[in-house]
Chains A and B, each alone.
Chain A
């Protein structure tokens, strides 16, 4: 996918560009807000990664101007201001996700990919049945079956699996799970999410031959149909 990085720090931008290219994406860079605005408006990008503090036009203003123009491209805001209030301000200004510096590249990549995909098939999130391989989640009846066998889930396990299945084939990080499944943005200190995942994994993978719920080293988790 095509990604635009609006970042004034050349070194940070080059890390990002390189990393994104290695992950198989096309990445361009704009060094300031005005150029970022022009490129984003004309460039048909899938995701914009925008630093908050930019020369010439600050990041939030740029996003606001793009949204006024009717541009719906998802925006991931990067900022050295990581506090809750700043996050709220960023999202209110038209951002879709917010990542505080310093961040792990894997985190950024996972979030950018999720954002891009969400825009492409927006209907997926609303589907009444989610299917990944032999896993089938009925979102109306709140039931899960694998190979036709019903698996009973706790409410939170259901939410966890639902989120993973909505992003099947994509890496989902621990913080993304904490934010989207639990709606908290704090640092849980210990690996609480891992324990929830291993419980879920015990339910959906234990009695079957092929694992569906994978751990992506150094990044997070992914649910994927390994048969294919």
Chain B
């Protein structure tokens, strides 16, 4: 019963029933209308015939009086397939005709009437006729009618046909609905079973695909793709938590080690102080990693979108460039900033600032050129390579911030990998850093609907941080083309001017 109940509850079955009802009602209406039309047609023909006969008989009466009428009626009733006739006198008694036993009062009715009657050869008034009563002068009445038994038979046949066909319709419809529902239900059940096993932890399970490429198959294929993606994400998450475990454990271990060592072997106040200072340093590094991870998580979850505003990204690039310029110099590099044209983006200023700062920080850390081995113009060459550039440019619909150095660069095979969290290439592990800088920049780019590209700067690394740019205003274009902004009604550059003021202070 539950299996049947399940069948009855399926959408397919319910839909079949609804269609069945609609079809039954409409076919019933069509057949009913047909029957009614046929009946009306028959009635019209009968009426016309009766009227013609009455007219003829009335003429006979007018020419030969009641005798002639009786004579003609008598003659007509003897013909096979005759109409029904009745002539009565002023007392209402029949004089001639082939009709007896009319229901009382029938002769007083006017117009076209439908009445039961009895044939002279029958015992009961079991026939129905359509008739008209005609008043003749002298109190005589003439009734002419037609038997409508054929019409009634036709009606009965049609209604029986209607009922039987409806019964068949319902039977076939119900069974058809059940059959289709069962087919669909079987596939849904198979999908449900597969889902159950997946939910029980077998993430590698997939929904069955029959290969017919119907809508169920397409759904199953989409769901399978989704499962695939979830599997990838879970694997990624596992990878990340493994990495977090590793990269947090290392400094935690150092922290613990230092504290332990101080307890064990420190002999003076100064020893303790040094040890404690190291402990604080290590914990600061841990906090920094935590913050970076949180920031990445937030950027990836898209929850920082509420703090989005429009501003000039070139202004931030200049700010960051200016902030890092002395640090670059200290590292023996020259930082050049080429970000004069205003470039409006919609974004989170702090996150974008942090992302660009990370890129510049990386360029300064790893962008020192490899020493050139020999060559006459060695000095000039190496000086030209001691440059880190921060530039902004509009590239179609994108605002691009480009941070380029002439350091050793990153091999093509490693480029997509370094964006992953905690990935630090050989040779960089010894330097300070969390391995999260590029991941954060990439996450921030994704949050803003942009991307982070690593390219070859031949030699060196060029990082392109691309964001969707806001539409270029007229004034902006003029500034870019070197003409002064006219200070027209264009309101857009106001924000940029303000931002530029802030940076100039």
Contacts and interface: CB of A to CB of B under 8 A. Distances in A.
Interface stretch (A63-71, A81-89, A116-124): A81-89
A23 to B, nearest CB: 18
Given A84-B304, A85-B306, A189-B433, A184 B350 contact: yes
Contacts of A102: 283, 287
Interface residues of A, number: 26
Contact of B307 (A88, A155, A190, A191): A88
Given A85-B304, A155-B505, A190 B364 contact: yes
Interface stretch (A24-32, A34-42, A46-54, A192-200): A192-200
A15 to B, nearest CB: 14
B358 A189 contact: yes
B191 to A, nearest CB: 42
A206 interface: no
Nearest to B352: A186
Given A85-B306, A88-B307, A199-B326, A187 B350 contact: no
B304 A83 contact: yes
B327 interface: yes
B350 A185 contact: yes
Given A102-B287, A184-B353, A192-B323, A84 B348 contact: yes
Interface residues of B, number: 38
Please report whether the interface of chain A is mostly helix, strand, loop or mixed according to DSSP: loop
A190 B327 contact: yes
A188 B326 contact: no
Interface centre among A83, A186, A191 (most CB of B within 10 A): A186
A83 B350 CA distance: 10
A22 interface: no
B265 interface: no
A188 B39 CA distance: 97
Nearest to A196: B326
Contacts of B361: 188-190
Given A83-B304, A85-B304, A189 B357 contact: yes
B351 interface: yes
Interface centre among A83, A182, A192 (most CB of B within 10 A): A192
B354 interface: yes
Nearest to A158: B505
Given A82-B291, A83-B304, A195-B327, A186 B322 contact: no
A83 B505 contact: no
B254 to A, nearest CB: 18
Contact of A188 (B283, B323, B502): B323
Interface string B357-386: 110010011000000000000000000000
Given A184-B350, A189-B357, A190-B361, A155 B504 contact: yes
Contacts of B304: 83-85
Nearest to A155: B504
A159 B319 CA distance: 13
A204 B307 CA distance: 39
A189 B285 CA distance: 10
B354 A186 contact: yes
Interface string A150-171: 0000011001000000000000
25 contacts: A82-B294, A83-B295, A83-B298, A84-B304, A85-B307, A102-B287, A104-B284, A155-B504, A155-B505, A159-B505, A182-B319, A182-B323, A184-B323, A184-B353, A188-B361, A189-B357, A189-B433, A189-B437, A190-B361, A190-B364, A190-B432, A192-B324, A192-B327, A195-B330, A196-B323
Given A83-B298, A102-B283, A199-B326, 7 more contacts: A82-B294, A83-B294, A104-B280, A189-B357, A189-B358, A192-B326, A192-B327
Interface of B: 277, 280, 283-284, 287-288, 291-292, 294-295, 298, 304, 306-307, 319, 322-324, 326-327, 329-330, 348, 350-351, 353-354, 357-358, 361, 364-365, 432-433, 437, 502, 504-505
